[in-house]
Structure 1
Amino acid sequence: MQLDLIPGGFVLSLQGREILRHTATAPALFVGKGEERMDMYRGNFDIEDYVVERTALSHVTVSGKRIEFAVAEGLPARFALTIEDNHILTTALDSSINRVWLRISAEPDEHVWGGGEQMSYFDMKGRRFPLWTSEPGVGRDKTTEITFKSDVSGKAGGDYYNTNYPQPTYISSRKYALHVETTAYSVFDFRRDGFHEIEVWAIPERLELFTADSFIELVGQLSSRFGRQPKLPEWVYGGAILGLKDGENSFARMEKMRAAGVKVSGLWCEDWVGLRHTSFGARLFWDWQANETRYPNLREKIAELNNEGIRFLGYVNPYLCVDGPLYPIADEKGYFAKDEAGKTALVDFGEFDCGVVDFTNPEAAAWFAEEVIGKNMLDYGLSGWMADFGEYLPIDVKLANGVDAKLMHNAWPTLWAEVNAKAVTSRGKTGEALFFMRAGFTGVQAHCPLLWGGDQSVDFSRHDGLVTVMCGALSSGLLGNAYHHSDIGGYTSLFGNVRTPELIMRWAEMAAFTAVMRSHEGNRPRDNVQIDQDAEVLSHFARMTSIYVHLAPYLRKLSEEAAATGLPVQRPLFLHHENDRNTYAIQDSYLYGRDLLVAPVWQAGQSERTLYLPEGETWVHVWTGATYEGAQSVTVPAPLGQPPVFYRASASDTSLFEAMRTL
């Protein structure tokens, strides 16, 4: 980085890119004090800040690579920035400061991406994004009835910025990336043309900066910084992972689907732990071991499935219910987070209470990894699971490491991922066992082998439907998360909102061109159409699994590339077409690897789709063989079963792609 003095201030540049510009009349740094109010209700948060002080630090003193900031000349410095290589270290010289606002230089036509897994807006320019792991909300659009009802009934409506996986990292179209090393509540504000404002409710440890000559190289740097996933397990390429939660009847339903031509790689049964019945309906029994009343002879059935090339997957989260056999063991050992009185903190999940295992206690983390995941799951025969509820750490508990839970809340998903990964590593199954998470934060990439998009509504809505999954894959993929997938058909069904056959089929069409195909029955299976309950849906799904398996050789190459370079399987169009700025804001189509362009139909009732083809290529429409030159928008037929997919005419796998027409 280059630090240059100018009248009344300085300019800090990174490889010729201006990062900070400070003058007395246009200061880059504000500090102060805030008093936050945070209320949590079942993973949803109501957060506001009372700003006691926000003061511009207009005067600077530069000594070597250290910059000290004061309100005015002659007054004591209150804050300091120190430049070390590509890092900016931060130091509060006034102990009263607990809020920092830093203005990063920006350009009017700049684009920015990242922020973790953003579900509504891929290009973040023009909007403000609080970064706090939480339930994303139902509907996520304050203008809709479903969001209003969800807000009223359970504070669960959400907004465009709510996400299970935030991360204070962004990539700029100026080909640099900025990461804020903090776990505190923070905000990225991209609403101004001249600067981006970063707000942190603590003193961040540092800002890290990265730059490269290409976006591909920049993504590689970020994946090296945050971690890379291993190659996909070989068994995944065999077909879809069927999500069924019907007790031992799940096996018969799976066989019915296989008989109809569905290619199956795994059977995922959330209810492998059994159910409890509440006024809200059937809920999982949160004690993580096989319930052989609901699944008789499960261990033997898992072995039989393995012999047929099909793996069995389950479910786990960091909580233990008070009426399960694992709770008293963990309670006696002191492994739970505590309340103000020093007793085990109990969390109400709706007619049953749970303790949250305290992963800041190394003994508790090791116990959960070995005794719960290791012995009860991996040794039992499970090949994967949903690792749920990473975003649920209550903010009023006391933790073993003594750190305020408000500062540990964002860090919790990464700790949870690490516990799962350690269990997998302890059994020598890294790259073979596959767990998937919806929650994340900085560093989750190093531990979690697969993201899933969370609990989308069972509809085509703009902020909570099918289209949001693409946005989530693209934003998280730029930050080192190579593999992303979603619940085929969505999950959340509330207030009369139910799946249509069309929705499942369109969702399956997209899923065939992602790293993993996995279905889900949703939160209300009996109210929503299931894959095996509709002949047309079943036939369509079988064909989509055949396409997925047909493309396995290509996906295998992408997996090898991801492990070696950090490039994600699903890529924004600009990643390989950075000179075509028309691609910079596209979020409803993506590159599947470099060679395939996928533009899923994400709105109801559509039989054609208009999309943009990047410049510099000749594109071939998979289903018709028609060719199109890039740098133009095209409209193509998109009947059910033929989602708009194109391949590069110069690709090496053209014969593989052409053969999809016959499937």
Structure 2
Amino acid sequence: MQIQTTSTGFDLILDGRPILRHRSEAPCLFVGRGDARMDMYRGNFDIEDYFIERTPLVHAAVSGSEIAFSAAPGQPARLVLQVSGDGRNGALHVRTDDSSINRIWLRVHAEQGEHVWGGGEQMSYFDLRGRRFPLWTSEPGVGRDKTTEITFRADVMGKAGGDYWNTNYPQPTYLSSRRYALHVETTAYSAFDFRRPDFHEIEIWAVPERIELTARPTFIALVEAMAERFGRQPPLPEWVYGGAIIGLKDGAGSFDRLERIVAAGTKVSGLWCEDWVGLRHTSFGARLFWDWKANEDRYPGLRQRIAELEDRGIRFLGYVNPYIAVDGSLFPEAEAAGYFAKDESGKTALVDFGEFDCGVVDFTNPEAASWFAERVIGQNMIDYGLSGWMADFGEYLPIDVKLANGIDARIMHNAWPTLWAEVNARAVESRGKRGEILFFMRAGFTGVQRHCPLLWAGDQSVDFTRHDGLVTVISGALSSGLLGNAYHHSDIGGYTSLFGNVRTPELIMRWAEMGAFTPVMRTHEGNRPRDNLQIDQDPEVLSHFARMTRIYVHLAPYLKSLVAEASSRGLPVQRPLFLHFEDDARTYAVQEAYLYGPDLLVAPVWQAGKAEWSTYLPAGADWIHVWSAQTFAGGQEVTVPAPLGEPPVFYRAGSTFASLFADLRNA
């Protein structure tokens, strides 16, 4: 990186790209203090900051690779940036002796027409330009649109409505269409503000360790660099390619239902039973019993059942989270060893989850983390025969607990998903099953990539809504995929059913159509199974679903090639159009279609009642519509028939997999 001084400031240049542009009349750096109010209610947060100070540091003194900022010439420096790096990779190391500073605002140079992507897993908007995005792991919210009734009612009921920026997986990293990336190395609350035409403002509620900058000549090279920085995931297990993972939570009846689903011609790779640990009954309905061991009253002879399924090529998956119920067998063991986070008085902090209390295992205590990895996941799950699980609730660290490492829980809150992923990964590694066991998470933060083998998109509403329905899964896959998360999937049919909002057959079928063109197909019965249609309750839905699983299995050779590419290069399976067509600027803002690898373009139907669908085909290639075999020139928007069972999918003419794609019509 280069620092070019001017009469009133400096320019910081990375491989020819201006990054910071500081002038005394237009400073790039502000510091100050704030006093934040943070209220948590079951994973949802109400956050408000009272600004005590925000001071522009108008004077910048450059000395070699150091830039010392002060409020005026002659005053002491309040903050120093140490610049390091070469033409492709750089860092701004932050140093200050002013202990009063707990807020920093940095203005990064922006250009007209620039696009920005990333921010972790963003569900509403793929292109972040024009909006502000707080970066704090939380429940994503119900509805996620303040203009809708469902969001209003969720807010009133439990502060659970959410907004466009709420996400289980934030990350203070963005990629620019100017082919550079910026990452803030901090776990504190932060926000990216892309609303101004001439600068992006980075807000951090702490003094960060450093700000990293990466430049590459192409988008592909930039994404590869992100995967190298944050970690590449292990390859998907071989057993996954055998079909869908069927989510059922019907106790022993789950096995009978699975047989009916298989008999309908469904290709099945796994049976996923959240309720393998048993249930407790509350006024809210049946809840899982959070003791993390098999409940053989609900699943008699489960270990034998698991072995029998595996002999047929079907794996068994379960569920776990970082909390332990006070009335379970594991709680006394963990409490006696001092493995739980503490409250103000030094006692075990108890978290109310609605008619039952839990302790949260303190993963900043190395002994506690090792105990959970070995005792809970290793012995109770892997050794029992589980081949995977949902690793839930990584975003739930209460912000008022006391942790073993002495760091404020508000600083550790964003880091918690990564620690949780590391515990799961450690258990898998301890049994030598990396690349064989598949656990999946919705929560994430910087570094989760190197531990978590599969993201899941969280709890979408069971509908077609713009901010919480089927379409949000696409944006989530694309945004997180740019940051090293190669594999992404979702609950087929959605999850959240509230206020009379229930699944329709059309919704399940359209969601299954998209799921066939993702790395993993998995169903979920949702939060209210009895109120919502399930795949095995409607013959037409089940027949359609079975066909989509056959399409998924048919594409296995292609998917395996993408997994190999992810392992060697870090490229995601689901990719934004611009990743392979960066000369076509119209692709930069597309978020409702994606490339499945380099050669398939998928444009899921995400609105109800549609019999045809329009999508943009990138310039630079000819595209063949899978179902009609009609060829379209790229660089135009096309409209094709889209009846149920024929999702809009196109393959690139000349692809080495062209014959495989053409045979989809017969799958």
TM range, smaller chain: over 0.9
How much is the aligned-residue C-alpha RMSD, in angstroms?
A: 0.4
Residues 80 and 93, structure 1, Cα contact 8 Å, conserved in 2: no
**AA at the equivalent of 1:319:** Y
Query: Which residues of structure 1 form unaligned runs of 5+?
Result: none
Per the TM alignment, residue 60 of structure 1 is displaced from its structure 2 partner at its CA by: 1.1
**Secondary structure of the corresponding residue to residue 302 of structure 1:** helix
User: In 1, Cα distance between the equivalents of 2:560 and 2:611?
Assistant: 31
Residues 142 and 148, structure 1, Cα contact 8 Å, conserved in 2: yes
**AA at the equivalent of 2:289:** F
Q: Which residue of 2 aligns with 1:206?
A: 210
- Given the alignment, which residue of 334, 338, 341 partners 2:342? 338
**Secondary structure of the corresponding residue to residue 93 of structure 1:** coil
User: In 2, Cα distance between the equivalents of 1:650 and 1:103?
Assistant: 45
**Secondary structure of the corresponding residue to residue 589 of structure 2:** coil
Q: Which residue of 2 aligns with 1:89?
A: 93
User: In 2, Cα distance between the equivalents of 1:621 and 1:610?
Assistant: 12
User: In 2, Cα distance between the equivalents of 1:420 and 1:380?
Assistant: 15
- Given the alignment, which residue of 408, 421, 432 partners 1:428? 432
**AA at the equivalent of 1:8:** T
Is 1:75 the counterpart of 2:75? The answer is yes
Summarize deviations over 1:189-217 as a string: whole Å, max 9, x none: 00001000000000010000111110000
- Given the alignment, which residue of 599, 602, 610 partners 1:598? 602
**AA at the equivalent of 1:369:** A
Q: Which residue of 2 aligns with 1:224?
A: 228
Q: Which residue of 1 aligns with 2:642?
A: 638
- Given the alignment, which residue of 154, 160, 164 partners 1:156? 160
- Given the alignment, which residue of 587, 593, 602 partners 1:589? 593
Q: Which residue of 2 aligns with 1:98?
A: 102
**Secondary structure of the corresponding residue to residue 540 of structure 2:** helix
Per the TM alignment, residue 543 of structure 1 is displaced from its structure 2 partner at its CA by: 0.2
Is 1:190 the counterpart of 2:188? The answer is no
Q: Which residue of 1 aligns with 2:11?
A: 11
Residues 374 and 427, structure 1, Cα contact 8 Å, conserved in 2: yes
Per the TM alignment, residue 662 of structure 1 is displaced from its structure 2 partner at its CA by: 1.2
- Given the alignment, which residue of 241, 245, 251 partners 2:255? 251
Q: Which residue of 1 aligns with 2:564?
A: 560
Residues 489 and 519, structure 1, Cα contact 8 Å, conserved in 2: yes
Per the TM alignment, residue 306 of structure 1 is displaced from its structure 2 partner at its CA by: 0.5
Summarize deviations over 1:239-288 as a string: whole Å, max 9, x none: 00000000010000000000000000000000000000000000000000
Q: Which residue of 2 aligns with 1:107?
A: 111
Per the TM alignment, residue 93 of structure 1 is displaced from its structure 2 partner at its CA by: 2.9
Per the TM alignment, residue 108 of structure 1 is displaced from its structure 2 partner at its CA by: 1.6
Summarize deviations over 1:357-404 as a string: whole Å, max 9, x none: 000000000000000000000000000000000000000000000000
**Secondary structure of the corresponding residue to residue 10 of structure 2:** strand
User: In 1, Cα distance between the equivalents of 2:618 and 2:465?
Assistant: 27
User: In 1, Cα distance between the equivalents of 2:367 and 2:233?
Assistant: 26
**Secondary structure of the corresponding residue to residue 518 of structure 1:** coil
Q: Which residue of 1 aligns with 2:122?
A: 118
Residues 460 and 467, structure 1, Cα contact 8 Å, conserved in 2: yes
Q: Post-superposition, which runs of at least 4 consecutive aligned residues in structure 1 deviate over 4 A?
A: none
Q: Which residue of 2 aligns with 1:42?
A: 42
The aligned runs of 1:172-191 (5 Å cut-off) are 172-191=176-195
Summarize deviations over 1:519-570 as a string: whole Å, max 9, x none: 0000000000000000000000000000000000000000000000000000
Per the TM alignment, residue 128 of structure 1 is displaced from its structure 2 partner at its CA by: 0.0
**AA at the equivalent of 1:64:** G
Report sequence identity in percent: 75
Is 1:281 the counterpart of 2:285? The answer is yes
**Secondary structure of the corresponding residue to residue 303 of structure 1:** helix
Q: Which residue of 1 aligns with 2:322?
A: 318
Residues 70 and 79, structure 1, Cα contact 8 Å, conserved in 2: yes
Per the TM alignment, residue 84 of structure 1 is displaced from its structure 2 partner at its CA by: 1.4
User: In 2, Cα distance between the equivalents of 1:40 and 1:258?
Assistant: 43
Count the aligned residue pairs.
Answer: 663
User: In 1, Cα distance between the equivalents of 2:60 and 2:470?
Assistant: 49
User: In 2, Cα distance between the equivalents of 1:59 and 1:556?
Assistant: 55
Summarize deviations over 1:128-162 as a string: whole Å, max 9, x none: 00000000000000000000000000000000000
**Secondary structure of the corresponding residue to residue 25 of structure 1:** coil
User: In 1, Cα distance between the equivalents of 2:306 and 2:75?
Assistant: 71
Is 1:58 the counterpart of 2:62? The answer is no
**Secondary structure of the corresponding residue to residue 612 of structure 1:** strand
- Given the alignment, which residue of 521, 528, 544 partners 1:517? 521
- Given the alignment, which residue of 490, 505, 508 partners 2:509? 505
User: In 2, Cα distance between the equivalents of 1:339 and 1:412?
Assistant: 17
Is 1:388 the counterpart of 2:392? The answer is yes
TM-score where L is the length of structure 2: 0.99
**Secondary structure of the corresponding residue to residue 339 of structure 2:** coil
Is 1:267 the counterpart of 2:271? The answer is yes
**Secondary structure of the corresponding residue to residue 306 of structure 2:** helix
TM-score where L is the length of structure 1: 1.00
Query: Which residues of structure 2 form unaligned runs of 5+?
Result: none
User: In 2, Cα distance between the equivalents of 1:607 and 1:115?
Assistant: 34
